[in-house]
Amino acid sequence: MKKILTAAMIAGFGGGAAQAADDLTLQLKWVTQAQFAGYYVALENGFYEEEGLNVTIKPGGPDIAPTQVIAGGGADVTVEWMPAALAAREKGLPLVNIAQPFKSSGMMLTCLKESGIASPDDFKGHTLGVWFFGNEYPFLSWMSQLGIPTTGGADGVEVLKQGFNVDPLLQKQASCISTMTYNEYWQVIDAGIGEGDLVTFKYEDQGVATLEDGLYVLEDKLADPAFEDKLVRFVRASMKGWKWAEENPDDAAMIVLDNDETGAQTEAHQKRMMGEIAKLTAGSNGALDEADYERTVATLLGGGSDPVISKAPEGAWTHQITDKALQ
């Protein structure tokens, strides 16, 4: 992208010898969309350049696992949901949360009203669509807390491994599917199903919400003062981008569109998405709220005989970066 190519040059203007900007690569959890608007805004508006950074933003996708990318050295920082990050940490990948731009969860189950589901008590005997690749952990914890087996049968639920679309609901292969408030829910609406024909269960409302879209790095890198300094500047510029996006949602959506090299996104969808995303980032200055972290851990530990994590993590988050970035 042209913004990336010119960042180092611009950083060197205005004085004597040009000084090259510090390179930093960010791996997104998903494709280019308003879910990541703050980073694209920071890139487009020169916030990274002002901090002497040359940031490369790598989109994700259905075949890209952010934890594997950062483990293999393909990124310095990755955007990830905390359940997947903590599960990876317990398995030996020492991820650390350095910032938490998202305060609230956008995850929910969206059900067809005609299925007869009006409350979580009605899930039994139904097929529910669930995302995997680390996204299944909040759902499995929720079902465990409800005492509902995920192995099928009249007293359990049949779990349909959901692709990254809403087809199982449209084709009535499942009574409910996983959706995000800012994305798939609106795909269902756009497909012609009225809001009055749907019943939604937000994880936030059910008390089982887990933190989403945090910024993670490998633990050993935090001991390097030069890397720490880059992260401080990156987080400061990124949060500037996020707050700008909250205040200018339509303009932020257009910046996202300008950076979508696939051409798959539409203006209407991205503007609507940005409006919903702003509700999730509102209330966060970028520093992780320890109470939100503890709630996430408690939810993940409540997995019955097969919890997402087997014990409370140690060293899984730090204020080391945000304490300096947000002064």
The angle subtended at Cα 109 by Cα 91 and Cα 120, nearest 5°, is 100
pLDDT at 306: 67
Domain boundaries, the chain: 2-104+211-325, 107-202
Q: What is the pTM of this model?
A: 0.89
Q: Is the pLDDT confidence value at 17 over 70?
A: no
Task: Let me know if the fold of 2-104+211-325 is the same as that of 107-202.
Answer: yes
Outline where the chain has alpha helix (H).
2-11, 37-44, 47-50, 66-71, 82-90, 137-146, 167-170, 184-190, 225-247, 249-258, 267-281, 290-301, 322-325
Pair of tokens at residue 11: 């950083």
pLDDT at 301: 86
pLDDT at 1: 43
Mean pLDDT score of the chain: 92
Q: Which residues contact 26 (CB under 8 A, 6 or more apart)?
A: 39, 55, 56, 57, 58, 75, 76, 77, 78, 79, 234
pLDDT at 15: 42
pLDDT at 4: 41
> Domain 2-104+211-325 maps to which CATH number in 3.40.190.10, 3.40.50.970, 3.40.47.10, 3.30.70.260?
3.40.190.10
pLDDT at 8: 43
pLDDT digits (tens, 9 = 90+) for 32-67: 999 999 999 999 999 999 999 999 999 999 889 999
Q: What mean pLDDT is predicted for residues 234-240? A: 98
pLDDT at 136: 83
Q: Is the pLDDT confidence value at 7 over 50?
A: no
Number of neighbours of residue 260 by Cβ within 10 angstroms: 16
Q: Give the CATH class of 107-202.
A: alpha beta
Q: Is the pLDDT confidence value at 6 over 60?
A: no
pLDDT digits (tens, 9 = 90+) for 170-226: 999 999 999 999 999 999 999 999 999 999 999 999 988 999 999 999 999 999 999
Question: Is 69 in contact with 41 (CB distance < 8 Å)?
Answer: no
pLDDT digits (tens, 9 = 90+) for 89-109: 999 999 999 999 999 999 999
pLDDT digits (tens, 9 = 90+) for 108-146: 999 999 999 999 999 999 999 998 876 787 898 889 889
CA distance 243 to 285: 8
Q: What confidence category does residue 300 fall into, taking pLDDT thresholds of 50, 70 and 90? A: confident
Q: What confidence category does residue 280 fall into, taking pLDDT thresholds of 50, 70 and 90? A: very high
Question: Is 37 in contact with 252 (CB distance < 8 Å)?
Answer: yes
